[in-house]
Chains A and B, each alone.
Chain A
Amino acid sequence: MIEMIASLGRNTLARLEALGRSGLFLFHSIVAVPRFRSGFPLLVKQLYSVGVLSLIIIIVSGLFIGMVLSLQGYTILVDYGSEQAVGQMVALSLVRELSPVVTALLFAGRAGSALTAEIGLMKATEQLASMEMIGVDPLRRIVAPRFWAGFISLPILSMIFSVVGVWGGLLVGVDWLGVYEGSFWANMQASVDFGEDVLNGIIKAIVFGFVVTWIAVFQGYDCIPTSEGISHATTKTVVYSSLAVLGLDFLLTALMFGDL
């Protein structure tokens, strides 16, 4: 019993310590905003590998999720004779909820794990240490561009996800199931509000981008530099960021839409 309580305490302390370390780490990397001249090419490179290379998975998933939403929504709504509301249903669920959340989850799996593995491997092969010895802060040179790239990419990916999803919904709803296109758009535009829905969705994506990239780069930087440690850190990135995204999503939704 005593042993159990002690181990609980030990665990809590270790967690708190890791949290503190990651906070400090984040502070140092954010303070290390890349200087424009030398930092910009690094940022572009990371935007490419983090953002551009994630496009395919985002577009394909967005398309399918939009199509499924449209199909499911239609079969329910048609019972009430309001199948023209399918556009509004697809758009609202995408913009408010699914785009930021699904994008963040996919992003954690696709880009987050890659970031962790890359930084972890750099640590294991002493690249980070040798960079430090050359007199270059790896937080500034390695971590900061990756962090900013993730932070910038996720909202963009999420917006693209929304648009592609609505297009998928349009394909299924209008072209296949025969909902009148005019009412599809009109219903959507009448119910989706820019400030309330679109902007809140983007804010969610920004928050998720921050958290997911933070977790990914920290896990890489903090990993035990062995092959086992890296694989463990990669797993942790995906698990922690998925949990964080889902938990934060509830919190943000309650804050944004809770009083409606």
Chain B
Amino acid sequence: MLEIRDLNIEFHDHSVPETVVYDFDLSMKEGDIVGIVGESGSGKTMSALALCGLLARHDMEKRGQILFEGKELLTCSRQEMRTLQGKEISIIFQEPMTSLNPVKTIGWQVEESLRLHTDLSKEERRERALWALREAELAEPEKVYEQYPHELSGGMRQRVMIAAAIVCQPKILVADEPTTALDVTIQAQIIQLLLKLNKEQKTAILFISHDLSLVRRLCRRVVVMQNGYIVEQGDVEEIFRSPREKYTKRLIASIPSCDRKKTERDYSGAPEIFRAENIAAGYSASAGLFGKGGGKEVLKGISFSMKKGEILGLVGESGCGKSTLARILVGLKKDYRGSLTGAADKVGMVFQDPYGSLNPAKSVGWILEEPLRLRGGISGADRRRLVLEMLQKVGLEESIAGRYPRQLSGGQRQRVCIGLALMSGPEVLVADEAVSALDVTIQAQILKLLLKLRDEMGLAILFISHDLRVVYQICDRVMIMQNGEIVEEGTPRKIYFEHSHPYTAQLLEASGVLG
């Protein structure tokens, strides 16, 4: 059905042409599920976009062949391509929050492909759209049909994207990191949904992900890409069992495993340096206009303590209150009840997004110096010395000080963010999804850095994450949070293998960490 041969994609927007995909080959039959795995910049998304006819920039050159049912897609006119887009070849994207038009109803958007490709009547289109919404397992499809994207959660929006993609019953569905932005439990549901569609509709799925373990749960065949090249492809299980290439081995090795034999550190002798008691907080819905504003209680009495050098994991789904707690701990949210004692004024924070957290107009040196300047009383020469020391501490070269955030890689930026959080000399570091936006190999390096800093400086780290594998690997103790409450707490081994709360079980089940 689909045959891609020697696909090369080259950008010409710089003086030297830059090739992002080399000699990409892939063939798919009806009902196939194929995964493409690789880190950012490996060319996986480029190849998929080329297949969907969404790479139509003037400054790029595509060579090779993409044959879809005998039709050459690379050389066909855009008009011909449009007759296939949304009808035979559909795509869903990583960002369900922004991939839908905010001012159009869900129904209108799901029906769009029908309006473009069929001459069904208004009534028939509605029927068909409702069928697709049901097929995507949205409860109350009639209601969703009338709603707007902002009224739906991320998981629901991704279901809507899937409904819109399958409404014409395409032969191929390209899924570009469709679950990366979603919680584990939602992630598992979406994977189940894709499997169901594949089975019932015989839709072939090209699943693109950086998450090898996720690909293993969904796909039969996998293509591993690195720097634009296919390094290995074949049966998923086989590749997991006996990877041939060094890169594949490294990818598999960097998936943190949940080994029951994990050695656990003993903190009974370590001094307690931080304690939070009965922290409760809420957000009041903007009251005033109509009198009573119904507030929402986000945190319902959270208590925990941390010892010197301890890494405490905090796990929960979006909206459970994790980030609110983090904001309270670092002093960004002041209206809370309860008490913080110990090193409450010595808390540093590392955020999720290493791209957005650094001022793009300032050099790394300037950014790192800022906490010192604000504190005052330190000479310029001393400040510069401290900045260079910090760069070294977080594993960066001194020359980085003169560069700007955009000139750094994601991993380097996150190192800068960690350095920045440490500049004011904290004893507690709050890392809010600090490695979630990074590729696995970079992730492993940053985790190593955090462990090193803990050992060298005796930092206590509150490690907030939705990635249960990472949490198991790095944390000494884990708290499971649901709806603003800690429902279970204990050592990773206890939480993962001897948990008692049903929610913990549900999270572990959805994430598939236990195999």
A complexed with B: no
Give me the interface of A with B, judged by CB distance under 8 Å: none
Give me the interface of B with A, judged by CB distance under 8 Å: none
